[in-house]
Amino acid sequence: MNRRRQYAELIVVRASGFAADGQRRYPRWEATNADLQRWLGQEGVGGVILLGGSAADLALRCRQLQGWAQQPLLLCADVEEGVGQRFEGASWLVPPLALDGLWHREPARAEALAQAYGRCTGREARLLGLNWVLAPVCDVNNNPANPVINVRAWGQDPPAAAALASAFVRGLQAEGVLGCAKHFPGHGDTQDDSHLALPLLGHDRARLEAVELPPFRAAIAAGVASVMTAHLQLPSLDRERPATLSPAVLTGLLRQELGFDGLVVTDALVMEAIAAHHGPGEAAAMAFEAGADLLLMPADVEAALEALEQGEAEGRWPADRLERSLERRRRALATCRASTRTVAEALDGLMDPADRTLAESLLELSLQFQGTPQRWRGPGVNLLRIDNSLSCPFLPPTAPALVQPLEAGLRTVVVDGQSQPLDPARLPDGPVLLQVFVRGNPFRGSAAAAAEWPGLVRELVAQDRLAGLAVYGSPYVWEALRDLVPPHRPAAYSPGQMPAAQALVLGRLGLGPGAGDHPGDFTD
C-alpha cells in the first residue's frame, strides 16, 4: 500500500445520510457521491461522518458507502441523544444533562439509566450500520454563557459528569460500537462557539485537574475507544497552538500523563476556530504532528493528503508514527460487531419495547412542573421562541407544540432567536402560552441567555395574559423564568425538545388528552 493511501485511512469525510446528491442538506460540507466513490475507492479514505435522513436512509447509506470502499470503514455520527436525534425512526432520548439532578439524589439509579442510554444508542447504531458513536460529551456544563454545550453534557459538576459519562461508555461499547469522549481537555467553561471562533480557556493546571479532566479520566478508565479534541486555546498548556494542534495537549497530557492509547480524533477541521487561522493542508499536518490519529472533516481532502506526505518527507514526525495510528485504527475496528441483519430486519429491530420504556422514563424523570393545569379556551396566542427557524427538527408540522395549542384555539406566533427582540405590543389579543426552545447549539454565537425573556413574562403577568409557560432545553432559562409565573398558572420544563417532550409538557399544562378534566380555567 502506498504512503498516500495509508494516510487516507486516517481521514474522516462528511456525507449526507441521504442517497442522492440533490438531497444533501449541507452541500458546503457534504461530499458528492462522485467524490465519495473516488475518495473511498481510489484514495482509500477510511472514515465517514453522516448526517441527515431517516433511519432507513442511514441503513441503506452505510451499506452503500461500505460497498464503495476497499477496506473496513469507520462510520460515525453525532448521536449524543440517541440515534433518533439525527435519524428519524430511531430512539430520540432526552439530552444527557437530564440525568444530572437524579444522580445527585439517586446516583446508582442515574448511572444505571446512563448505561441503558448507552446500550440503546449502541444497539441502534450497530443495527443501522454505524460502528462509531461520537459521544459522550465529557465537558462539565458549568458556564451558563456557553453557547454549544449546555444540555449536551452529562453533569454540571465533575463527579456527576464523570460517573454518568463513563456509565454511558460502558453501555455503548458493550454493544460492539466505539465511543468517543469529547471535547478534550474540556469545552464546558467557554463563552465562544468554536464553530465560529477560537475560544480561550484561561484556567491553570490545578483548575483543569479539579474540573475539566476528571470526566475524561473516568471515560478512559471505562475503556472509551476514542477521544475527540477541542478547538480551544489553553495558555497554561500551550501558548502557541490550540489544543487540537498542540503536542503538549495531545501527546504530553492525553497520551503520556493520562495514559490513553486509543484513537485520538480531531473535532471538525472545517470549524472556524482552526480554518480561520490555518490552511486545510497545514491544519491536517499540524494535528497529526501533535498526536491526532484521525482527521475529521479536513476542508480539502487532497490538500490534507499532500501535506501529510510532505510532512513525513520533511521529518516532522518519526517514520513509525503513521503505523502507530494505523494500528490503533485496526485495533479499534477489531472490537466492532457488525450487524448481519437486512435493512428491513434492522428497522424492525428499532421497535424494541425496552427502548421505548427507557425514552419515556427519562422524559418523566426529568420533567419539572409547578402551578395548576388549565382548561384552555381560545382565542389566544401560542408564542414560540426558537433558536433558528431554519434548523428545527423538533418542530415538524405535526409537532405537539404547534398542533395541541391550535386545537385549543390558540394562534401560533413564532419568534426566531436570529431576529429582533419581540415587541409585546404586536402580539394578538388574548391569553398567551409562552413556549421557549433554547439549548446549546453550534453556529448561534451566543448562549441565548434568558435575559431577554423576564421582561416579557413580567409584562404578560401584569396584564393577566400569561396563561402558561413551557421551557424546553436550557435549565438556565427555566430557572430565570419559573419564579415569575403566578402560582395558579402552570409552568413546566423538559431538557428535551423533541415532540415526545412537547406532548408530555403540554399535557401537564392542560393541553392534550384529558385536558377537560383539569379544574383550572384561564377564563375564570
d(CA 149, CA 451): 19
- Kindly state the percentage of the chain with pLDDT values over 70: 95
d(CA 442, CA 423): 27
Closest by Cα among 492, 475, 259, 232 to 368: 492
Tell me the per-residue pLDDT of 360-411, one tens digit each, with 9 for 90 and over. Answer: 999 999 999 999 999 888 899 999 998 877 778 899 999 999 999 999 999 9
Tell me the per-residue pLDDT of 287-303, one tens digit each, with 9 for 90 and over. Answer: 999 999 999 999 999 99
Answer yes or no: is pLDDT of 517 > 70: no
Portions of the chain given CATH number 3.20.20.300: 9-353
C-alpha 219: how far from chain center: 17
145: confidence class by pLDDT, cuts 50, 70, 90? confident
Residue 513's pLDDT is 63
Catalytic residue set: 195, 267
Answer yes or no: is pLDDT of 524 > 60: no
Answer yes or no: is pLDDT of 512 > 80: no
Other Cβ atoms closer than 10 A to 25: 13
User: Average pLDDT, stretch 518-523?
Assistant: 41
User: Average pLDDT, stretch 479-484?
Assistant: 95
User: In this structure, what DSSP letter does residue 271 have?
Assistant: S
Q: Minimum mean pLDDT among 32-41, 197-206, 232-241, 330-339: which range?
A: 197-206
C-alpha 523: how far from chain center: 41
Residue 509's pLDDT is 97
Portions of the chain given CATH number 3.40.50.10870: 367-517
d(CA 278, CA 255): 24
Residue 441's pLDDT is 65
Answer yes or no: is pLDDT of 190 > 60: yes
User: Average pLDDT, stretch 258-287?
Assistant: 96
User: Average pLDDT, stretch 234-261?
Assistant: 97
Tell me the per-residue pLDDT of 305-353, one tens digit each, with 9 for 90 and over. Answer: 999 999 999 999 998 999 999 999 999 999 999 988 999 999 999 989 9
- Kindly state the percentage of the chain with pLDDT values over 90: 83
Answer yes or no: is pLDDT of 13 > 50: yes
Mean pLDDT (the chain, rounded): 93
Please tell us whether the domain made up of 9-353 is placed in CATH 3.20.20.300.
yes
Tell me the per-residue pLDDT of 91-143, one tens digit each, with 9 for 90 and over. Answer: 999 999 999 999 999 999 999 999 999 999 999 999 999 999 999 999 999 99
520: confidence class by pLDDT, cuts 50, 70, 90? very low
Q: What single string gives the DSSP state of each residue in 11-54?
A: EEEEEESSSSGGG-S-TTTSPPHHHHHIIIIII---EEEEE-SB
Other Cβ atoms closer than 10 A to 302: 12
d(CA 90, CA 95): 15
Answer yes or no: is pLDDT of 446 > 70: no
Tell me the per-residue pLDDT of 38-90, one tens digit each, with 9 for 90 and over. Answer: 999 999 999 999 999 999 999 999 999 999 998 999 999 999 999 999 999 99
Amino acid letter at 112? A
419: confidence class by pLDDT, cuts 50, 70, 90? low
So what CATH class is 367-517?
Answer: alpha beta
Residue 439's pLDDT is 87
Residue 514's pLDDT is 43
